[in-house]
Each structure stands twice: as structure tokens, then as C-alpha cells.
Amino acid sequence: MKAVPAWRRIPWPPLIYLAAIAASVVLGLLVPLPRITGPFGNVLYAIGWLVIIAVIALWATSFRAMRRAGTTLDPSGEPSHLLTGGPFSITRNPIYLANTLLLFGVGFIAGNWWFVLLGIVAAILTQKIAIKFEEKVLAEKFGRKYRDYTKKVRRWI
């Protein structure tokens, strides 16, 4: 395995999502977008809570699978195992998906559309900065097994 450049050792995904949350709060206060009210607003509020419940389940099952396999939770660390079961049988990036859905759920509950918009931006940045690199590391380490997995399971959903 090649040496990892210093900038790759920074856990970018958590920082990206934390920045998106902070920016959403600030923009929601300074430049609020129109709220959806009435019955549709109530439906979005309820959907937001369902999304939050799904996020918690996705986080819990993903972290449990990673701990049981004894692989790193650090997004910039080197994986010791290729996980293909549990939430990893539905999406190759269940934690990043959960982080994105968290922003959507909070946005729906709070009526702050900046969370939804910046959730999309955070997902795109995570894919460009982290996922592409992680996929390269996994392909080098696990070879055909990883390539076969990518043919069966989508990157997001």
C-alpha cells in the first residue's frame, strides 16, 4: 500500500457534513427560504422524523458491522475487511448516506431548506473528495472481490 498524502489523512466527510450543518443554520437565520406550511408542511415534518429514525438505524447497523469486522471507522484509515453484508448490501456508503439523510430530515423538520440544499452539496463533495479515494484503496486492497461487489451494490442507493 502506498503512503497516503497528508491531506488524505484528514477525516474529510465528518468535516464536510459539520460544515454543511453550520452553514445551514447560519443561512437559515440570515437568508431564510420560504417555509412550506399547511398539510404538506405537516407531512414533510412527519417524513423528517421518519428519516431521522432511518438515519439512526443506518448508523447503528453500519458501526456495528464495522466494529464486528474489526475494520477502521476512520474515513481516512486503511480498511482491514471488505464489508458486503447488512447495510453494506444495500449501499456501499451507508454512513455517508445516513449523514446526507440526516441533513434532509433536519431540513424537513425545521422547515429550513438550506439543510436539504447543502446536504446535496455535502454528498457531492464527499463523493469527490473521499469516496473516489476510498474506492481506489478498496480496489487495490481487495481486487476482484471489490469490483464484483461494486457491480452488485450501488454507491449511494
Quote the CA–CA distance of 140 and 82 in Å, as a whole number. Answer: 12
In a domain, 34, yes or no: no
In a domain, 95, yes or no: yes
Catalogue the E-assigned strands of 68-145: none
Nearest to 97 by CA among 128, 132, 126: 126
In a domain, 101, yes or no: yes
Under 8 Å CB-to-CB from 152, ≥6 apart: which residues? Answer: none
For residues 25-32, give the mean pLDDT.
Answer: 97
Number of domains in the chain: 1
In a domain, 143, yes or no: yes
- pLDDT per residue over 41-54, tens digit each? 999 999 999 999 99
- pLDDT per residue over 67-115, tens digit each? 999 998 888 788 999 999 999 999 999 999 999 999 999 999 999 999 9
Nearest to 107 by CA among 14, 25, 13: 25
Quote the CA–CA distance of 107 and 18 in Å, as a whole number. Answer: 14
Look at residue 78 in the predicted model and tell me its pLDDT.
83
Which CATH number goes with the domain that contains 143? 1.20.120.1630
Q: What range does the domain containing 67 cover?
A: 39-71+82-157
C-alpha cell at 116: 436539504
In a domain, 128, yes or no: yes
In a domain, 12, yes or no: no
